[in-house]
Amino acid sequence: NTPSILSGTFSQISSHQNHLTKYSTMKLAILSVTISAACAFAPSTPAFTGSALRMSEPETETAPTAVVTAPAASGEAVAAVAVEEVAALGPTLNGWTPDAALPCYGLPGAIAPLGFFDPLGFSKDAELGAVKRLREAEIMHGRVAMMATLGYIIGESTPTITYGMDIHHTIANNQIPEVAGTVLFPFFLAINISEAVRASIGWVEPGLGPLFTLRENYYPGDIRFDPLGLKPQGAAEFDNMQTKELNNGRLAMLAAAGMCAQEQVNGQGILENLGF
C-alpha cells in the first residue's frame, strides 16, 4: 500500500508541477506578447522624435547660413539706411549734402593750415539748423565787412556824392554824423529792403515754424543774386568759390575791425596812416 500511496502522491505532485509549468509558460507567453506589442508601438515615439530632431537639426544648421548670407543683403540695407539718414538731414544744395560725421556737416570753409577751426566750440554738438544759422551769419558779416573795407578807403580818399565830389578827409568813423538825412534815408531804406528780401528767401516766416529757423531748401548765403553769372554749376567748383568767399570775408572782418580801431586811436584815415 505504501508504494501505491507514494506513487499517487508523486503523480499528484507531478501533475501540479505540470499545471504550474503550463501556467508559468502561459504567463510568460502573455508577458512576451504584451512586451512585443509594447515594443511594436514604443519605437514609433523614438523614431518620431529622432525624425523631429533630424528635421530640426538642418533648420538649426541653416540658420547660420541665413546669418552668413545676410551681411551682403544687410550690408546693402545698412548702406541704404545710412543714405536715407544722410538724406533725411536735409536736401542736397549746391552740391552739398549734410553729413553729421563731418565738422559743420561738411560745409566748405575749412582749409590748411588750420583746417577746421572752432576753438570756442560754437558748432560742437550743434544741430544742422544751428550750424546753418552760424554759416549764414558768418557769410553775411563777411560780405558786409568786404564792403566796409572798401568803404573806408573810398569814402576817405575819393570824390563822393555825399561831399559834392570833393575829397573830404574826415575819417570814416566820423563821416556818418556829417551826412545829411536826405542821403542817409535812401541808404538805410535800401538796406532794409535788401534784408527783407534776404529774410523772405532764407528764413521761415514767424508763425509758420520755430523762430530764427532757416528754410530746409535754403543754402546759407545763397540769396539768388548773381547778376554777373559767376556762380559755378559743379559741386566742386561751387565749394571752391564758397571757400574763397568765406576766407575773404573772414579777412575783411578782421580788416574792418582793425581800421575802426586804428582811426579811433590816432584819428587818421587809413591811407593817411600808411603815408599816402
How confident is the model over 73-121, as pLDDT tens digits? 455 555 555 545 545 588 999 999 999 999 999 999 998 888 899 999 9
The answer to whether 172 and 152 have CB atoms below 8 angstroms apart is yes
Lowest mean pLDDT of 27-31, 35-39, 110-114, 188-192, name the range: 35-39
pLDDT at residue 203 tops 80: yes
**Helical spans, DSSP H, in 120-180:** 128-157
The answer to whether 248 and 142 have CB atoms below 8 angstroms apart is yes
What residue type is assigned to position 231 of the chain?
K
97 Cβ partners below 8 Å, 6+ apart? 86, 87, 89, 90, 106
Q: Provide mean pLDDT across the span 17-37.
A: 50
Q: Provide mean pLDDT across the span 132-153.
A: 96
Task: Kindly indicate the confidence band of residue 9, based on its pLDDT and cuts at 50, 70 and 90.
Answer: very low
The answer to whether 30 and 37 have CB atoms below 8 angstroms apart is no
pLDDT at residue 17 tops 60: no
Instruction: Determine phi and psi for 209, rounding to 5 degrees.
Output: 175, 180
pLDDT at residue 4 tops 70: no
pLDDT for res 143: 97
CA-angle at 152, arms to 252 and 111, nearest 5°: 10
